[in-house]
Amino acid sequence: MKKILSYIPIILLVIFLTSLKKSSTNDTLTTSNSDKVIEQKVDSVLALMHLNEKIGQLVQYSGKWNATGPSSSKTDQFKLEKLKKGEVGSMLNIASVATTRETQKIVMDNSRLKIPLIFGYDVIHGYKTIFPIPLGETASWDLDIIKNTAAIAAKETAASGIHWTFAPMIDVSRDARWGRIMEGAGEDVYLNKVVGVARINGFQGTNLTDTNTIAACAKHFAGYGFAEAGRDYNTVNVGEFELHNTILPPFKAAAEAGVATFMNSFNEIDGIPATGHKVLQRDILKRDWNWNGFIVSDWGSIGEMRNHGYAKDKKHASEIAMNAGSDMDMESYAYEANLERLLEEKKITLAQLDDAVKRVLRVKFKLGLFKDPYKYCNEEREKNNVFTEAHLAIARDGAKKSIVLLKNETNILPLSKNIKSIAVIGPLANDKDTPLGNWRGKGENNSAVSLLEGIKNAIGNNTEIHYEKGIDLTVPNIKPGSNQFLHPLEFNNTDNSGIAAAVDAAKKADVVLLAIGENAYQTGEGRSQTNIGLLGLQNELLKAVYKVNKNVVIVLMNGRPMDISWAANHIPSILECWFLGSESGNAIADVIFGDYNPSGKLPVSFPHNVGQEPLYYSQKMTGRPSSPKHVTYSGYQDAPKTALYPFGYGLSYTTFEYKNLMLDKTEIPTNGEIKVSVDVTNTGNRDGEEVIQLYIRDLIGSITRPIKELKGFEKTMIKSGETKTIHFTINAETLQFYTINKKWEVEPGDFNVWVGGDSTTNLKASFTVVD
């Protein structure tokens, strides 16, 4: 305690002792009382701060520098001096107990008020133990495992001295060309809401003062996933009703779940850059939703308003951003240079500045950093809580639940472990790096279990394994694990000399496991592509192998929906395996050999070809609804309107039958509710999990409504031959939307309800809502 107190000036010490004494008199403080105590502390610190210190709390620097050694550049020296003066509020990209402690020590030993730093890092799907990419993990439709993996990621992150992750991404995204689709929960509003909240609860736990929790960040606010033509950072053109009904609901759910921070986005919406969007940030998020955390800009996005043609210089950009409600400046160096002058010129107000500072301080108090700035700096926790066997076991569990069986036409799968011979072929078959995916935190390059290793681990010595790479996916000068921005042409290796050996291996085997898809860095930030098919010589390899052995199982590794139409028409079995993380190969083997019955369902629609993008199930009807005889109406002459594999789709090694969809009433008032039930029977000979999905359509609205919207789901284990009755409740929350009256409400009218195993289900009932 003596060590901790020495960091705090005497006047702050009095404040803390008083507040701690009050808190200690009641160990079961209510949330409101606890919040009041924090507000008192925040106000007390704010009252002591000089202007330069206030502005400093809104400054975030990247920490790719040596805090303990001599400064390597003028920039480093500049940052060091700012830290000593207490004019930096946060650092990102500093990872490890040693570096965070030393950086924090600079502030605690030299600054006037000893206000601790908050350290942030991009922990997207794991810190050192890597879990499936978020899009892939969403395919599990298992909120418990999603929450659990986020909690493990938080535990490892916190053990490494870091307080804050820039996750989850909850952008609804419907365009497979957009590389960052891999980072979110896919195309559906409801699924993004519940998955986002599960991740937030995993990161933050029930109490941010717990040393195993970290602050989460809901991003990107807002519209980032709707970038025009799937080009990253691009313009977003959506109307007010699309914004409220499709883009904002996951963010509102995050705010209601108590997410500590938000991040704004690079894009503009209808001509206004999100970083400078007052209606979004100050009016909707902070006022209407009454959210009290802080908003951090995306990297350099305040300064980038100049590039948009919205601000003439960084001073003007700072004025716009502060007035709009953007609190912390990530790496623009704009606020620190301009806020004081803007105050003097009365272009921003002291009340705005103080509000932003209070929001940052509030999160630091909730994390317990004022009480102990070094509470996350424990070498023993770092040693024992990172990349453990227990964490790897959870990674394997999450990975196998994320696999989607897209096709199993001849019941090739599951394979017997007594099979005589298997050919493991493909550029990704023995790749230990690609399964980690992009945004891999501190995951070590080439540390994943490869497919080949997983197969070997699963079977005995009596099975022959014939391995051949066949082709390389990337050109030779691209190093594995190199997180660089690659042009798609760099994946078009033209060396086909290895295909002959792959064909020979296929001839010798009973079954071929063909691992193809994408390199880890074909998806992610800045990885937009017009070609979402199998690049390079993969199709040539696929067709050559299939020609000599029809028992082919495609093991698809990818971060986006892909055009696999040729394979879907010819190959008997396809496993969608995403980028599954550290335990990838073992998890795939669990499914291939039937140790786990696949239960994944697609969180995104897979197209017949890229020309269908953006593609999503919850489309709207048009004035001329299409039919098979009128393909020119709102459709294509050369492709279906429907998906190759639709949203919510996924097979099992067993089969399920849906019957007896029942509503307990067919008419309710606007504030009423309906109980829905359906019988689901496992009609196969294996136990299996099924994701039962509830969809709604509002037939007539004051604005047009989607043809179907997911409104609920339940994942449950059903034994072979067993029938389970599944129950849902439809109420005002289910039926409301942002109407022509510009408010959320339920409109009277007729509704359809469907329940089934994917978004194409036709098991339907109807009901009416009356005034």
Does residue 552 surpass a pLDDT of 60? yes
CB 707 within 8 A of CB 762: no
Looking at residue 1, its pLDDT comes to 44
**In this model, does residue 247 exceed pLDDT 70?**
yes
Give the whole-angstrom CA distance, residue 215 versus residue 120.
Answer: 9
pLDDT, greater one: 1 or 685: 685
At residue 7, the pLDDT reads 44
Q: pTM (2 decimals)?
A: 0.94
* 664 pLDDT higher than 80: yes
Mean pLDDT of the chain, nearest integer = 93
Residues 6+ apart with CB under 8 A from 75: none
Render pLDDT for 88-127 as a digit per residue (tens, 0 to 9).
999 999 999 999 999 999 999 999 999 999 999 999 999 9
Contact 174/616 with Cβ under 8 angstroms? yes
How far, in Å, are 195, 680, 717 from residue 142 at the CA level?
Answer: 9, 18, 12
CA angle 462, 466, 472 (to 5 degrees): 155
Token pair 């953006």: residue: 614
The proportion of the chain whose per-residue pLDDT surpasses 70, expressed as a percent, equals 91
pLDDT of 757 reads 98
The total number of residues written for the chain in this structure: 771
**Helix/strand/coil for 627:** strand
Tell me the mean pLDDT in the region 159-186.
Answer: 98
pLDDT at 148 over 80: yes
Residue 634 pLDDT level (bands cut at 50, 70, 90):
confident
Reply yes or no on whether the pLDDT at 26 is more than 80. no
Q: Is the pLDDT of residue 376 over 50?
A: yes
**What pLDDT does 24 receive?**
37
Residue closest to 376 by CA, chosen among 565, 626, 96, 174: 96
- Provide CB contacts within 8 A for 84, sequence distance 6+: 106, 107, 110, 111
**DSSP summary character for residue 274:** G
| Confidence category of residue 477, pLDDT binned at 50, 70, 90 | low
Give 328-350 pLDDT, tens digit per residue. 999 999 999 999 999 999 999 99
CB burial of 627-645 (b: ≥16 within 10 Å; e: otherwise) equals eeeeeeeebeeeeeeebbb
- Give the SS3 label for residue 266: coil
Q: Is 298 a catalytic residue?
A: yes
Residue 444 burial by Cβ neighbours in a 10 Å radius (0-12, 13-18, 19+):
middle
CA distance 533 to 613: 13
Composition of the chain by helix, strand, coil, percent to 5: 35, 20, 45
CA dihedral 700, 703, 707, 708 (to 10 degrees): -100
Q: State the Cα–Cα distance between residues 655 and 59, nearest whole angstrom.
A: 56
What confidence tens digit (pLDDT) does each residue in 513-530 have? 999 999 999 999 999 999
Detail the DSSP E strand segments found in 364-486: 404-408, 421-425, 464-468
Nearest of 442, 481, 458, 436 to residue 582 by alpha carbon: 436
Q: Which of 142, 175, 188, 298 is catalytic?
A: 298
pLDDT at 656: 98
Instruction: DSSP for 195-217, please give it.
Output: HHHHHHHHHHTT-TTSTT--B-E
**Cα–Cα distance measured from residue 307 to residue 326, given in angstroms and rounded to the nearest whole number:** 18
pLDDT of residue 484: 56
pLDDT of residue 14: 39
Kindly tell me if the per-residue pLDDT of 69 is higher than 90: no
pLDDT 10s digits, 486-513: 565 666 778 999 999 999 999 999 999 9
Q: Are 571 and 554 in contact (CB under 8 A)?
A: yes
* CA 390-145-175 angle, 5° bins: 125
What is the pLDDT confidence band of residue 68, given thresholds at 50, 70 and 90? very low
Per-residue model confidence (pLDDT) at position 586: 98
- Stretch among 45-54, 616-625, 653-662 having the lowest mean pLDDT: 616-625
DSSP string, 319-386: HHHHHHT--BEES---HHHHHHHHHHTTSS-HHHHHHHHHHHHHHHHHTTTTT-TTTT--HHHHHHSS
- The better pLDDT of the pair 480, 160 is held by 160
Per the CB < 8 A criterion, the answer to whether 666 and 766 are in contact is yes
Domains of the chain: 392-612 (3.40.50.1700), 656-770 (2.60.40.10)
Residue 6: per-residue pLDDT? 45
Distance (Å, rounded) from C-alpha 298 to C-alpha 234?
14
CB 430 within 8 A of CB 421: no
Mean pLDDT, rounded, for 345-370: 98
Is the pLDDT score of 533 beyond 90?
Answer: yes
Average pLDDT of span 430-438: 97
User: 6 vs 9, 364, 374, 703, CA distance in Å?
Assistant: 8, 19, 13, 61
478 vs 578, residue with greater confidence: 578
Q: According to the model, what pLDDT value does residue 627 have?
A: 62
How confident is the model at residue 23, as a pLDDT? 42
User: Which is more confidently placed, 618 or 641?
Assistant: 618
Contact yes or no for 85/52 (Cβ under 8 A): yes
